[in-house]
Amino acid sequence: MVPPLRKIDRLIWEIPKTYKPCMKVPARIFADESLIEKMKTDSTLEQAANVACLPGVYKYSIALPDAHQGYGFPVGGVAAVDSNQGTISPGGIGYDINCGVRVLRTDLTENEVRPRLRELVNTIFELAPAGVGETGKLHLPVSELNKVLDEGVDWAIRNGYGWTDDKEYIEQNGSWDFADSSKVSQRAKERGKDEIGTIGSGNHFIEIQVVDKIFNPDVAKVFGIEKEGQVLVMIHSGSRGLGHQVATDYIKVAESKMRQWGLYLPDRELAALPLTAREAQDYLHAMAAAANYAWTNRHLLMHWVRESFKRVFGRDPDKLGMRIIYDVAHNIAKFEEHVVDDEGHRAKVWVHRKGATRAFPAGREEIPKVYRGIGQPVLIPGSMGTGSYILVGFEKSMQLTFGTAPHGAGRQMSRSAAVRSLPPSKVKAALESRGIIIRSAESEIISEEAPEAYKNVDVVAEVSDALGLAKKVVRMRPIGVVKG
C-alpha cells in the first residue's frame, strides 16, 4: 500500500497530513519520477508519513532524493522538532551515530599514482583494518576512551594523529563540547575501546579517487581542487560498535518509558524521548560523545592514509598537499535556528538528519571560516564502481529542507538479492577491467556493494542541484577501493 502523493512541483511531492490521524504536518518528498518510483517499492513513504507524527515537528517531514527504508525513519530523512515541545527519536539519527564522509586532497595526479596503485591500496588495507568487529592499532583504556568521547579530534591531534589545522576543515571542528562520556554505557565503551581507527563494514570504505569533471572551477579552487586527473582520498566510516550500542541503549529507554510519558507513535521503531525529559538530554549528550568518537575514528583513518602515501611515495604527506577538504556528519541531530513557518518565525530546533548532509549556504556561522564565503561542502559518495560528488550548500536548502542535502546514491537492491545475483569474482573482474583495484575483508561485501546494487548517484546530484539544495562542484571516479 502506497500513501497518496500530491505533486507540488517538478521535483517536490507531498503526502497530505490527512493521510493519518496522527500526522501533525505533511510529508514532503524531493525526487524525480524515477526516484519516487523506487521509493514506492519499500516503506520509505509510509515511514516519512510516520515521522510527521512526532510531537513538535515543524513544517513537514522530509525524504530526500536518495531516501530508502530504514529503522523507523527513512535513511535520507529529515525532521526538525521544537526544542521544548518536541521529541528526539534515536531512530531518526540512526544506529551509526555520526557516520560521515571525509575527503582529502593531494597534489598527485592519476598518472603519478597508477604505477603504485596496488601497493597503495594494499598498504591502506594493512594500516586501516576493515571488517565487522575488526580491532585496530589502538587499544584504549576506558579512562583514555572517555577523553576521546569528551574531546573528539582534539584528543587525536594532541596524541600525534593529524595536524593542528586539520580542525579548520571538519564540520564542528570535529569536536562537540556538548558531549558527556558519563552518559555512554560501559558496554558501549567496551565495544569502542579496541575498534577505534577501523573502517567497519557494509558501505564503509576508503577510496582513492580521481577528479573526473569540474563543474565550478572557482569553488573547486577554494577546496584545493585545481585540475581533472588530480587524486583525492575519500573516507566513509562512523562510530562502529560504540555508536550502535548508544543507539540500542537509548532506544530501549524510549520504548520502556513512552507509555508513561503518554507518547504513542504509529511504529514501535520510532521510539522517542520528550526533549524536556532527563532521558532525552542523556541521549543527546551520549549521541554527541559518539559523534566525537566517529570524528576521531575518521581522523585516525586519515592518519593511516597519510602514512600509507608516505610509505609508498617516500614523501611527507604535507609535501604531498594532503589536507582535508571537508568532513561531514550524515547521521546526527543538531541544535540549530531555522525559519519554521510561512510567516518567517524563527525557532531553535533539533534537526534529525539520518542519511542526510547539512548543506548550509554561504554566510552561516556554523560553516568553517575558510568556506563561509562559498557555502558548506556537501560530500556525496556513490558506489565503488561509479562516481562521487562534492557539492556546495545553496540557499534553497534553508527554505526547503532545513539546510540539508542528500548523502549518497542509496541502495536499489537488497544485500541478499545482490549476494544471490552478483558473484564477487565477476564484480571484481568488471571493476578491474575498468582500472579499479579493490581489496575487501570479506568477499560477500563485494557483491553487496556492487555498483548495480545502488541507484545512480548522478541523478541524486542532479536533483539536488536542480532543487537548489546544493550545487555541483566536482565529480570524482574511484581507482582504488578498500572495503569491510
Q: Which helix (H) or strand (E) covers residue 462, if one does?
A: helix 457-467
Whichever of 231 and 301 has its CB closer to DNA, that residue is 301
352 is catalytic: no
Q: How far is the CB of 203 from DNA (least distance, A)?
A: 3
Name the β-bridge partners of 471. Answer: 392
Q: Which is nearer to DNA, 17 or 240 (CB)?
A: 240
**Does 43 show up as a binding residue in the annotation?**
no
Nearest distance from C-beta of residue 380 to DNA, angstroms: 15
Q: Annotation-wise, does 330 bind a ligand?
A: yes
Q: Which backbone phi and psi does 412 adopt, to 5 degrees?
A: -125, -5
Q: Comparing C-alpha atoms, which of 88, 29, 98 is closest to residue 64?
A: 29
Tell whether residue 203 is among the known ligand binding residues.
Answer: yes
Ranges of H-type helices in 85-239:
110-113, 117-127, 142-151, 153-158, 186-192, 217-222
CB 140 within 8 A of CB 196: yes
For residues 83 and 350, the answer to whether their CB atoms sit within 8 Å is yes
DSSP 57: B
Q: Is 297 annotated as a binding residue?
A: no
Residue 204: all three cell numbers together: 564503509
Smaller CB separation from DNA, 133 or 363: 133
Residues forming the site for DNA (CB under 7 A): 71, 95-96, 99, 132-133, 187, 190-191, 195, 200-204, 238, 240-241, 244-245, 442, 484
Q: Is 382 annotated as a binding residue?
A: yes
Q: Provide the minimum distance between the beta carbon of 471 and DNA in the complex, in angstroms, as a whole number.
A: 27
Shortest reach from residue 296's CB to DNA, in Å: 14
Give the HSE-up count for residue 227: Cα atoms under 13 Å, Cβ half-sphere. Answer: 8
d(CA 320, CA 468): 34
Q: Minimum Å distance from CB 186 to DNA?
A: 10
| Residue closer to DNA, measured from CB, 371 or 454 | 454
Nearer to DNA, 197 or 241 (CB): 241
- SS3 assignment, position 108: strand
| Catalytic residue (choose from 244, 285, 299, 407) | 407
Q: Phi/psi zone of residue 12: left (φ > 0), alpha (ψ -120 to 50 degrees), beta?
A: beta
Full 3-state SS string of 279-340 = HHHHHHHHHHHHHHHHHHHHHHHHHHHHHHHHHHHCCCCCCCCCCEEEEEECEEEEEEEEEC
111 annotated as ligand-binding = no
Please check if 96 is assigned to a binding site. Answer: yes
Going by the annotation, the residues of the binding site are: 96, 203-207, 236, 330-331, 381-384, 388, 407-410, 483
Going by the annotation, the residues of the binding site for GMP are: 203-207, 330-331, 381-384, 388, 407-410, 483
The residues annotated as belonging to the active site are 407
Going by the annotation, the residues of the binding site for Mn(2+) are: 96, 204, 236, 330
